[in-house]
Amino acid sequence: ATPTAVMVATGKGASQGVLIKGGNALEKAHKVNTVVFDKTGTLTVGKPEVVSAILFSRISMEEFCNTTIAVEANSEHPIAKAIVEHAKNRLPNHKTQPTNGSIVKDFEVHPGAGVGCKVGPKTVLIGNKRLMTSFNISISLEVENYFTDNEKLARTCVLVAIDGKIAGAVAVTDPVKPEAAHVISYLQSMNITTVMVTGDNRSTATAIAMEIGIGIENVFAETDPLGKAERIKELQEKGMIVAMVGDGINDSPALVAADVGMAIGAGTDVAIEAADIVLIKSCLEDVITAIDLSKKTISRIH
Ligand code: ADP
Ligand code: MG
């Protein structure tokens, strides 16, 4: 496209909340035949809520809550925010909590899996099953059953391990965006393959995919940030022209790997930085707006 055509399209995009960073993205977007979506915060609202909490060891709910608050207060993850809020409300005198004066040390993020640190003398890990397994923490049948029951309902379970033993778990729910199903079916009607890639577990991911019409053969679950980029490259090796839509730091390698990276405007700065196109309104409809804008610009040129 000519510089003028690019300028016109970029201006038009901007007025609709679709920020296109340069001509390259615009030229590529009309060729996209596969759109890969991150789940949490992209297809879902990204404001998870805790809907259940359960103890698997002999600690009190109060200690469980204090510990989770102490740890998750250090995390930016939306699940962490949900856990802190829930735990605070559950404590008897929550306005002055946490009361255990916990000293957190050695806080560590395990991307796509969870977090860990020392709380006073105790070693605490909070995250998914993969995180627990990688620290050789065993998962009892009771814990497995809690997972199965909740994941069928499209909930994500998060485990809390204290000193190498599962102390409890919480289940969170994060509703899908109201426009998600419609955008997926519209893209499919344009002969665009729709794919989900997520760090979350397979059952939860599948339940969400089915809810919005992404084929379960196109769901890549339990994928860490580099794995997300790998999936993109595999699709490209099969000849696909791939757009990646994501909101998190964990999506930035995939946003860079994709032919067109689209960041959700409400996402993290790192994702916005890594993307070619920013969807300011955080609305999935704008994935279609961006592709359409590119199509119109290119067809006007040739
Ligand atoms: P997505 O790819 O769907 O955006 P992430 O890669 O951010 O998800 O996270 C994958 C999984 O890792 C979450 O579903 C959760 O189980 C776990 N996880 C990540 N960070 C945290 C945290 N701070 N607290 C608890 N669990 C976490
Ligand atoms: Mg996300």
| Ligand 1 pocket, CB under 6 A | 38-41, 72, 75, 77, 79-80, 112-115, 126-128, 156, 158, 198-200, 248, 250
ipTM for this model: 0.95
Q: Is the dihedral of CA 182, 183, 185, 190 positive or negative?
A: positive
Predicted TM-score (pTM) of the model is: 0.85
Residue 83: per-residue pLDDT: 97
The angle at the Cα of 49, spanning 45 to 76, to the nearest 5 degrees, equals 75
Residue 98: per-residue pLDDT: 52
Whole-angstrom distance, CA of residue 235 vs CA of residue 105: 41
**Which domains are seen in the chain, by residue range?**
3-45+176-301 (3.40.50.1000), 49-173 (3.40.1110.10)
| Both structure tokens of 58 | 């002999």
Which parts of the chain have pLDDT scores under 70?
A: 93-101, 300-302
- Select from 157, 150, 175, 227 the least CA-distant residue to 43: 175
- Given a contact cutoff of 8 angstroms between Cβ atoms, the answer to whether 188 and 30 are in contact is no
Whole-angstrom distance, CA of residue 137 vs CA of residue 115: 14
Residue 5: per-residue pLDDT: 85
The Cβ of residue 61 has, within 10 Å, a number of other Cβ atoms equal to: 15
**Which of 39, 40, 44 has the most ligand 1 atoms within 8 A of CB, as the residue to mutate?**
40
Residue 205: per-residue pLDDT: 95
